[in-house]
Amino acid sequence: VPGVSKAAEAGRTILEAARRSRAWDRLADLCDRVGPRLAGSRGYAAAVEWAIAEMTADGLSNVRREPVRVVPWERGAESLIVVEPNGPRPIPVTALGRSVATPAEGITARMVVVPDFAALEKLGEGARGKIVVFNFTMRLAADGGGGYGEAVRYRAGGAIAAAKHGAVAALVRSVTTQRGRSVHTGSMSYEDGVPKIPAAAITIEDSEMLARLQEKSVPVTLFLRLGGRMLPEVLEANVIGELRGRESPDEIVVVGGHLDSWDLACGAHDDGAGVVLSLEAVRLIKQIGLVPRRTIRVVLYANEECGLDGGTAYAESQRATIERHVAALESDSGGFRPTGFGFQGAPAAADRLEALLAAFDGLGPLTLRRGWSGPDIGPLAKLGVPGVGLRNDGTRYFDFHHSPMDTPDKVDRRELDDAVAAYAWMAWLLAEMPEPLARAVPAP
Ligand SMILES: [Zn+2]
């Protein structure tokens, strides 16, 4: 494969430089000084200022913000109480993003627990007037996405399914395998023509407790009060900066992650890691003098978590000159030991990338998985831009994901540096390869 020896040499230089990366310190700085940064919040505005200052300090060119329309969701006061048996017993609860509020006086209703959607169907009228609890058990998978994909359907669509059966609210077992009696939030949605009922996540432990009570035929009454609401549309921003290419500066490789996070913690893994990997990759490439042929454009996206607005707006803004985008790279799977990349695009491009991956040594084998890249670059991939996503050992990602536990102490400095190396090398490779990757046929 042409270019392998040059790629291998660059890989060694980048790996060496990544041993002195500032990624972890920058992550802690974002987490500690800015904190939670849900779109529409003061935290997100502070994150934009932080990112502009960091890119400027790194000496990037054309540092700017680009407007993104966002309809933000704001959390309100929330409480969940077991009224009977033996109540009142408060249990932890967190509203899901976009959930409507309950009436101000709350909802008091009998509960019914189902393990999955099929059980809800069988219940028929049995859910009418009740609070439905989805006690779906997430499967632990080293490739984080595996078990998540199955379980997240209940968070995303549980309220719709429950409302179709006449339920008055939906509670979802947190999408995690970690028994830390913690709640994990995330976005949900409604469907036109189906009543909008409030939806929230509860802990694994309480979800199982409620299921055990039902098994024993103990009547359970719950009290739920949620105060979340959608806010009027605001203009948020993607933050952008560039390392200009030495030969073909008009050809662009987009590298990024999402700048927003959930509000329960500071989003260290999700996606503070992707933010600092993107910043550090470019800073190290610049510092060691490996300025590539094409421009590397760092894009930190707004509101991935509750609307995917930043990624959508960026692709839309580039539609007229989309051929100038030769590839897009994203990290949104946490800051763990890297295992390879995902690829979304033409099979010929995947073959070529797979052959080049063999050139990188020092971190164990990096493998390519076809069919997936990342959420924010998905809209670019649909326009035919080859999409590449960093993959890592995601065994523990969903322990922390969208929970109050997603703080920088959960990110290992050495693992994050290894991720910087793999990610920076891929950014360099995409921006340096003599012929760009083959493009996919745009989706209609
Ligand atoms: Zn994320």
Q: Can you spell out the DSSP letters for 330-398?
A: E--S-SS-EEEEEEES-HHHHHHHHHHHTT--SSS--EEEET---TTTHHHHHTT--EEEEEE--TTHH
> 269: CA distance to ligand 1 center in Å?
8
Q: Is the entire prediction scored with pTM above 0.85? A: yes
Q: 3-class DSSP state for residue 279?
A: helix
- Judged against a pLDDT cut of 70, whether residue 144 lies above it is answered with no
- Judged against a pLDDT cut of 80, whether residue 357 lies above it is answered with yes
Contact indicator for 285, 243 with CB cutoff of 8 Å: yes
Average pLDDT over residues 175-196: 97
Contact indicator for 199, 36 with CB cutoff of 8 Å: no
Q: Residues 280, 304, 330, 432: which is the catalytic one?
A: 304
- Judged against a pLDDT cut of 80, whether residue 356 lies above it is answered with yes
> 48: CA distance to ligand 1 center in Å?
17
Average pLDDT over residues 403-431: 98
- Judged against a pLDDT cut of 80, whether residue 145 lies above it is answered with no
> 61: CA distance to ligand 1 center in Å?
26
pLDDT of 332 reads 97
Neighbours of ion ligand 1 (CB under 5 A): 270-271, 332
Q: How far apart are CA 71 and CA 48, in angstroms?
A: 17
> 333: CA distance to ligand 1 center in Å?
7
> 53: CA distance to ligand 1 center in Å?
22
Q: What percent of the chain shows pLDDT beyond 90?
A: 94
- Judged against a pLDDT cut of 80, whether residue 143 lies above it is answered with no
> 391: CA distance to ligand 1 center in Å?
13
pLDDT of 142 reads 72
323 is an active site residue:
no
Contacts of residue 131, Cβ cutoff 8 Å, sequence gap at least 6 = 107, 109, 110, 111, 112, 167, 168, 169, 170, 171, 222, 224
Q: Which of 104, 110, 114, 120 is nearest to 82 (CA)?
A: 110
pLDDT of 11 reads 94
> 110: CA distance to ligand 1 center in Å?
35
pLDDT of 361 reads 87
> 301: CA distance to ligand 1 center in Å?
10
pLDDT of 442 reads 87
- Judged against a pLDDT cut of 70, whether residue 38 lies above it is answered with yes
pLDDT of 4 reads 83
pLDDT of 1 reads 59
Q: Provide the pLDDT confidence category of residue 5 given band limits of 50, 70 and 90.
A: confident
> 421: CA distance to ligand 1 center in Å?
20
| Average pLDDT for the chain | 96
